[in-house]
Each structure stands twice: as structure tokens, then as C-alpha cells.
Amino acid sequence: MSNKIAVILAAVVVLLLGATMYLSLHYYGKYQAQVTANSALAQENKAADAAMQSQNHLITIFNTLAGTTLNAQANNTAAGQDREVVIQTVIKTEPCAGTVVPAAAGNVLLDHYHQLRESTDGAPAGQPDGPMSAVAAAK
């Protein structure tokens, strides 16, 4: 009788060990799947963060460019108004019958042209650009 009890007890212990091993392997597999999924989500999160930082940087650059452009436009408008006053003053003081455009007024415009040219392409003022390339005829 004690042999039967020992065999049954041993069988129960083996079954419990087997069930415990099965459950531990089952949940370990689920844990590994969650670790893999978590790692993939962390990488996606890092990529999204990098994209957001890049977009934020580009927006900052665009805002800086827009501000600079607005400042340049305001300065150009103010300079244009100053030139307009100078030209009107010169035209009022010089008789226009002898010249098409008074020399002082032309010089103000020429100086402005040279300033614009130097600020845009770095070409020295008063120097020719060189030959222009041919433009295709409109069809």
C-alpha cells in the first residue's frame, strides 16, 4: 500500500513539475514576444522624435529666412523712398530741358543698382557680367 501511495505521489510531483515547466516556457515565450515588440516600438519612437526635431529645425530656418526677407524688404522700401526724395529734389532744382534725366538722379539709381548687384551675386560693381547665354525661342 505504501508503494502505491509513493508511486501516486511521485506521479503527482512529476505532473506538477511538467505543468510548471510548460507554464513557465509558455509565459517566457510571451515575455520574449513583448520584449521584441517593445524594442520595435522604442525604435519607431526614436525615429519619430528625430523626424519631429528635424521638422522643428526646418521651421526655425524658414522663420529666420522669412524674418530676414521682411527686414530686407523694409530696408529696400526705406532706401527706395530716400532715393525717390533725392531724385525729386534733383529734378526740382535742375532744368530738365537740357537732359533727359539729371546726372545726380541717374547716379543715385546707378549706385543703387551696383549695391543690389554686389549683394546678390558678389559681382564687382561697374564690371560687365560677360556674354549672356542664348535663350531658347518661345514656341
* pLDDT of amino acid 58: 95
The answer, yes or no, to whether residue 138 has pLDDT greater than 50, is no
Distance of alpha carbon 12 from its chain centroid, rounded?
A: 69
What pLDDT is recorded for position 86?
Answer: 80
* DSSP state for residue 133 in the 8-state scheme: P
Quote the pTM value.
Answer: 0.45
User: For the chain, how big is the Rg over CA atoms in Å?
Assistant: 42
CB 108 within 8 A of CB 86: yes
DSSP 8-class letter at 97: S
The three three-digit cell numbers of residue 92, written as one number: 526740382
Quick check: 83 and 105 in contact, CB under 8 A? no
Query: CB of 40 within 8 A of CB of 47?
Result: no
Question: 18-27, 47-56, 76-85, 119-128 — which is least confidently predicted?
Answer: 119-128
* Average pLDDT of span 29-34: 95
For residue range 65-106, what is the model confidence (pLDDT) as tens digits?
999 999 988 988 888 888 888 877 777 776 655 557 677 777
d(CA 125, CA 115): 7
The contacts of residue 125 (CB under 8 Å, 6+ apart) are 114, 115, 117, 118
